[in-house]
A and B are shown apart, each in its own frame.
Chain A
């Protein structure tokens, strides 16, 4: 298989692009950090890029454009206006799109998640709302892979497996338009990750750091090639950035590596 090319897309305020790129590098892929201006023709010719040239699109965390309005809304709008059609084609071609934290918020703003009706809904059908605590929460969280097979971006994570993946956000509570929103995601096998407690039990606060309904931490689109999640797998690629590794460990690999590796494997050769 030839080199997997990853576009790590950024604008001002995107601030997890270095570790996102590094995470893909650790999994054997070839990441490139690309500014949106390079996609929209606002850059000198030698710096211009096109989304078709990549196998994976990764949207890293941060506070794109400051997130002074709804998180991810401005970056989402700018992507839509400068490369919306190309992005839809990218998703339609079943290439993997992966968003973490602010990246997840952007995917929701773009209408790429949960995207019940079409690839890219004309307007957002969900939102990542303020945490129940009202605060930014930087803390360890534990995720369980609840995907029943639809999501193609978690193939290396056994079903039901729990992974310690840290969270750091102020707006992570997934809300839909209606009451049975979470049930429909579940029925449709779009729930990929749930927060759980240390023994795998249902997560109360702080194990569910934001109060997200049904403890949902990450979801995919119906086609299974777009994954958004609030916690940060790219922060735990080695055991030694986990919060509690000094209390003992079995592998030097971090729990995030299984996820990033899965995203890379989702590229069709």
Chain B
């Protein structure tokens, strides 16, 4: 430092006073960078003004706490105005909570929790640990609603796992990242006993430098036990439970709030936390117990920003302040400076608040589970946060100021979007070659390699599994369905929707498509879409074109959700997803949809059930080839990205669900990547039955568009011949007969196409096993 900006205080522990009051602009910037605060000059100036009013310099722990609280990750300073404009406030009576996880009405007695978030940057550095702690974090978000986690949903984005050629400096090979991430999810999820029921894999070169690891979780909670995430008022005790605090995960939120660089591996290794599912598992049990006994007033997990965020947020939301004894925090090792204790993101920790009378009872419950629980703070009646170390006050700040954080309305540039007038349709080989090529693209090909490593049945409530069809000859499902309450047939469906290629070309319609796809998946199993949670993964918001992408995608999501009348009670924003050199990811608004089905015994799967059924296309096929898998594989360009007619989507979903409820549908599959051709092929694969398609009833388009267009709001439905008329009547103008189920191959009339189901199955089944290593290869 140019002069003595940090003054060591004469204490037995390490503490510095930071010379902010007398600092000029360049010195303020220097302080931010030396202490790794990631605060801008303007933000440092606000801090200087605040402490000038306080009449003293801050301590290092105070400015560190501000660096945490004001990070993009914690306060959403760039995204909040956009979220407010488009997605907040889609309200409905059955939203029970918008806490750390959203909670919706499940039935008269229960609510279900949902939340998704990202763990992208840690996973790019250390895939196993990054993914595992991502699971840990999302479980805690659900647990602190008082909800038992019942299902995990993990959509992941990587570069092509069979990528050849040199990698940019500091970038790890996608195959290595994918292997590590899947192992991390497997080991954490399986050990905690929470089934991983759905997810997705998205492969594109633009994820090579910055993979995405999004982790979603669903939970179930008795409505009378729904927990708050804040203190009940002044005079309560804050008890820190679970893991000890160490130097792992320091500055994780700041790391998440800037672009990756060539040297992130070395600079930021310490920002990646270490997960321990076997500490987590009993923490969950004990938390449920103290919550069900109503011994606690609030629960919140320690995630980004560690203690510094959780104590402030629990106190502020509870209308009080807090006095904290930092020296009482159980540590992994001695010698941590107070600021390190305060911002560490060590895993497996939760904070509970309770009345002083209940402290002993709370501690007893944790003791039975061999979980460390330590009272470390008291809530007070003044809205200030005060920290003490061995009795010495080292921190004294206004809570509003600390946790408020800045909000930026940053400039954005709207993208120019192809309208389809310049579409260049590629020359295609035979349909057989096209279909086999599309089926074997890693984006479509079987993910069995990962799915079977995840326990997707633990808790014994999985009614519709992620893979469907004949045992050990399965194909892809649409949504998974759980029966969360033992003895009740009511089901909770979950599915992912996202099309980053659409979003890259046309962010608004890409956002709409993600919602539409998630709903299609839910409806395909016979459930009614009920709520969304979203993880918005975008690039650097300080670049106007990146922020423009996000704004348009969020507008599409918000309008569609609003039009469908479906709330988004929780979500997460992940910005700065750019590899070294400013190479942004595909804009990736990941949607996790939940749906309800009154009786899971009426649920439907995608595998063809028998020969001689009619195949119907539900919805309309249009010339919307932009971003399609066909164009990506065979070199088309400038196509129009599929749009969504929200009113029509609502109408078709209603009709299809009614037809399903009347038992008119034998099987149903969402029509997405690769269009009708791939959707029908997948149904043949899972059912082990062929089909004969005749697309003449779809008018006005050439064959290649009919087969491979990815127009939204479409499904393929198998209907017993004897019910074909009833189904047509029920669907009104919404269904077109496109063929029958027959034989052992997929045939397309007029195109002389004939592909044996065994060939379809092989093309679809083998690719990822081959890349990642299958049974017998190891």
Contact = CB atoms under 8 A, between A and B. Distances in A.
Contact of B460 (A22, A206, A244, A247): A22
Given A16-B458, A19-B459, A138-B456, A206 B278 contact: no
B13 interface: no
Contact of A135 (B369, B453, B483): B453
B483 A168 contact: no
Q: Which among B190, B454, B470, B778 has the greatest number of chain A C-beta atoms within 10 A?
A: B190
B775 A12 contact: no
B562 interface: no
B326 interface: no
B364 interface: yes
A241 interface: yes
B191 A66 contact: yes
Given A140-B472, A198-B471, A241-B483, A63 B452 contact: no
Contact of A206 (B191, B369, B472, B778): B472
B460 A136 contact: no
Nearest to A22: B486
B740 to A, nearest CB: 19
B471 A168 contact: no
B186 interface: yes
A234 interface: yes
A22 B458 CA distance: 13
A54 to B, nearest CB: 19
For the side of the interface on B, what is the size category? 35 or more
B462 interface: yes
B186 A246 contact: no
B452 A65 contact: no
Of B461, B465, B469, B778, most buried by chain A (CB within 10 Å of CB) is B465
A234 B457 CA distance: 11
A62 B456 contact: no
Contacts, number: 135
Interface in B433-463: 451-463
Contacts of B192: 15
Given A66-B278, A168-B457, A35 B368 contact: yes
Contacts of B512: none
A209 to B, nearest CB: 9
A17 to B, nearest CB: 9
A136 B190 contact: yes
Contacts of A63: 190-191, 193, 277-278
Contacts of A42: 368
Interface in A1-45: 12-13, 15-16, 18-19, 22-23, 35, 37-38, 42-44
B518 interface: no
B274 interface: no
B463 A133 contact: no
A47 interface: yes
Question: Which among A42, A47, A142, A243 has the highest number of chain B CB atoms within 10 Å?
Answer: A243
A138 B451 CA distance: 8
Contact of A13 (B191, B368, B463): B191
A16 B468 contact: no
Given A22-B486, A140-B471, A232-B457, A37 B368 contact: yes
B604 interface: yes
B469 A244 contact: yes
Contacts of B464: 246
A41 to B, nearest CB: 12
Interface string B475-501: 000000001001001000000000000
B235 interface: no
Interface in A130-152: 132-140, 142
A56 B604 CA distance: 38
A136 B278 contact: no
Contacts of B462: 241
A44 B364 contact: yes
A15 B458 contact: yes
Give the interface SS of chain B, mostly helix, strand, loop or mixed. loop
B601 interface: yes
Contacts of B277: 13, 63, 66
A243 B603 CA distance: 13
A47 B193 contact: no
A38 to B, nearest CB: 8
Contacts of A247: 469-470, 607, 609
B488 to A, nearest CB: 11
B458 A243 contact: no
B370 interface: yes
A194 interface: no
B281 interface: yes
A207 interface: yes
Contact of B603 (A37, A135, A139, A246): A246
A131 B723 CA distance: 47
Given A133-B778, A205-B775, A13 B483 contact: no
Contact of A37 (B279, B370, B604, B607): B370
Interface string A189-200: 000000000100
Interface string B269-308: 0000000011101100000000000000000000000000
B570 interface: no
A138 B457 contact: yes
Interface string A56-91: 000001110111000000000000000000000000
Contact of B454 (A132, A138, A140, A205): A138
B600 interface: yes
Question: Which interface residue of A38, A232, A241 has the most chain B CB atoms within 10 A?
Answer: A241
A140 B462 CA distance: 13
A235 B457 contact: yes
A16 B370 CA distance: 19
A35 B603 CA distance: 37
Nearest to A67: B191
A43 B368 contact: yes
Nearest to A240: B463
B513 interface: no
Contacts of B472: 139-140, 198, 206-207
A153 interface: no
Interface string A155-186: 00000000010101000000000000000000
A237 interface: yes
Contacts of A140: 471-472
Nearest to B608: A247
Contacts of A23: 460
Select the residue from B451, B459, B483 with max chain A CB neighbours within 10 A.
Answer: B459
B454 to A, nearest CB: 6
B634 to A, nearest CB: 34
B460 A138 contact: no
A243 B451 CA distance: 13
B159 to A, nearest CB: 23
Interface in B66-89: none
B281 A19 contact: no
Interface string B383-403: 000000000000000000000
Contacts of B467: 243
B503 interface: no
24 contacts: A12-B281, A12-B282, A15-B191, A16-B459, A19-B459, A19-B461, A37-B368, A63-B193, A63-B277, A63-B278, A135-B453, A136-B454, A140-B472, A142-B471, A168-B455, A168-B458, A198-B471, A205-B775, A206-B775, A232-B457, A234-B460, A240-B483, A246-B468, A247-B609
Interface of B: 186, 190-193, 277-279, 281-282, 364, 368-370, 451-465, 467-472, 474, 483, 486, 489, 600-601, 603-605, 607, 609, 667, 775-776, 778
Given A37-B370, A235-B460, A246-B468, 16 more contacts: A12-B279, A12-B369, A19-B458, A19-B460, A19-B461, A44-B368, A63-B190, A63-B193, A139-B452, A140-B472, A206-B775, A241-B462, A243-B474, A246-B464, A246-B607, A246-B609
Interface of A: 12-13, 15-16, 18-19, 22-23, 35, 37-38, 42-44, 47, 61-63, 65-67, 132-140, 142, 164, 166, 168, 198, 205-207, 232, 234-237, 240-241, 243-244, 246-248, 252
